[in-house]
Chain A
Amino acid sequence: MFGAIQFLNGLSHGLSLFLVAAGLSIIFGVLRVLNFAHGGFYMLGGYVAYEVVRRIGMEHGLFWVAVIVAGLVLALVAAGIERFMLRQLYNRDQIYQLLFTFALVLLIGDVVRIFWSTTALSVSFPPELRGAQNLGFTIYPRYRLFLCVVGVVAAVGLWLLFQRTRWGRIIRAATQDREMLSSLGVNVPMVYLAVFAGGGALAGISGALAAPALALRGGMDAEIIVECFIVVIIGGLGSLWGAFIGALLIGQLRAIGITFVPEWEIVLIYLLMIVVLVFRPWGLFGKKQAGS
């Protein structure tokens, strides 16, 4: 039976995935750079949180300190990468940017291996969210419920940021015509820096929040980035709404797959991606590019 538990599993997975995919999608929308290293940022966020928890513990709300530190560290790392490296490549062919972010993937992978070895590490659940919650119709782990709440809050928060703030409007304008925006007095390189750093922070926080739910190990970056790519292909690159729906779809599809055809679970997802690519290559909520 596909029941409440499976649905909630799909939901919490989808909403967590949204946090990572949203950053990837926004970065692409503004910078037009497909950031392969986004999964690396996520993985690094998990390890930074692990390191902070190892040093200061996680009682008395200290886990949340670790999450915030992971977000800040990744924002700084991303800002440094954009300011001192990626920025030199905008005038080049897109292949250079792809190669560069791929190089970052390898680099981050090595950094993780050097500092934290290759054995899987784990972070326990923060004490305030251990155990299970009785929801009336079912009992469900508290921490996963919390991940659902975070995903919804982040989605609403990002929506408000984009629709209701001047900063959000500037970011939307930058996705539509950056040259024009700079001619209107907006410091576009600064917008790029802020968006890349913001995307990095989102990925870092996601990785930190995922740490108690998963085991940390090298290779988790590749898994998440593949899933993120599928989310944005289905939803449409550059579309926040698309990332949201795409992530929820993937979450449910995985839950359904695990329940009914466990060996074929991942195949279902690829099938959906192929169907979308064939019939709507710009994604469910993406913008059809002129000439495609």
Chain B
Amino acid sequence: MADQPVDLKVESIATYYGLSQILFDVSFSVGPGEVVALVGRNGVGKTTTMRSIAGLTPPRAGKVIWNGRDMKGVPPHQVCRAGIGYVPEDRRIFPDLTVWENLDVVWRPADSKWTEERIFDIFPDLAKLRDRNGGYLSGGQQQMLTIARTLMTDPKLLLLDEPTEGLAPLAVERMVDRIGVLKAEGLAMVLAEQSTDMILALSDRMHVMEKGQIRATLTPEEVRADETLLTRYLML
């Protein structure tokens, strides 16, 4: 992945749902191999930020620039084909399709390095469930399938929205471990998370969000040096 450019710039975006403004002047950037975390409580705009980048809820002001290209007006399927993969928080697998069908159905470039075998190497649990309907998987399995499915589109940047939400502690541990594997491979990510462990383990930089704005930018070193720092921000 090192040979592929990864350069996301989010520049002062403002995003609305209907008349209500959700994001105010949000700016940050992601470079090659970086994992940037968005932290904050529910409803502060993490998901909306992801949806703005994915083209699902386009910002009304500001810009999303991907490898030098202004993504204004680019429909979601083109955003995906440009190399930005979105993994939503609510595990939206296709319940009536089998695990294999879920992986097969997505668009895939001819030169994708992701094959079913490689996916099953990273998520061995899914290999055993290949012919089971997505709707019959456990929460943790569904979450892995959601990530695996997006990987099949050969993303250069992964937008991961709350991958551990609602998972049992053991499944959380496993998820942190698997996402660590993806990071080690050099995949850049925007990670929305509430689990401090995961953020500290994986992120290079974290943006604390509150009421649709970025309030602070911290590094894991700063947080480790002062353990109350993140908690203080999250208690705001």
Contacts and interface: CB of A to CB of B under 8 A. Distances in A.
A185 B92 contact: no
A169 B108 CA distance: 14
Interface stretch (A20-28, A37-45, A95-103, A174-182): A174-182
B106 interface: yes
A187 B74 CA distance: 12
A34 interface: no
**A169, A172, A177, A188: most-surrounded residue (chain B CB, <10 A):** A169
Contacts of B95: 176
B81 interface: yes
Given A166-B104, A170-B105, A182 B94 contact: no
Given A166-B105, A185-B81, A186-B106, A179 B76 contact: yes
Contact of A176 (B79, B94, B107, B152): B94
A184 B106 contact: yes
B92 A188 contact: no
A186 B56 contact: no
B97 A184 contact: no
B150 interface: yes
A184 B105 contact: yes
Contacts of A170: 105
Contacts of B105: 166, 169-170, 173, 181, 184, 186
Given A166-B105, A170-B105, A184 B80 contact: yes
Interface residues of B, number: 26
Contacts of B77: 182-188
Interface in A160-213: 166, 169-170, 172-173, 176-177, 179-189
A173 B56 contact: no
Interface of B: 54, 56, 75-77, 79-81, 86, 88, 92, 94-97, 101-102, 104-108, 149-150, 152-153
Given A170-B105, A176-B95, A183-B76, 11 more contacts: A169-B97, A169-B104, A173-B94, A173-B97, A182-B77, A184-B77, A184-B107, A184-B152, A185-B81, A186-B77, A186-B107
22 contacts: A169-B104, A169-B105, A170-B105, A172-B94, A172-B97, A172-B101, A173-B94, A173-B102, A173-B105, A176-B94, A180-B88, A180-B94, A182-B76, A182-B80, A183-B54, A183-B79, A184-B150, A185-B80, A185-B107, A185-B153, A186-B77, A188-B77
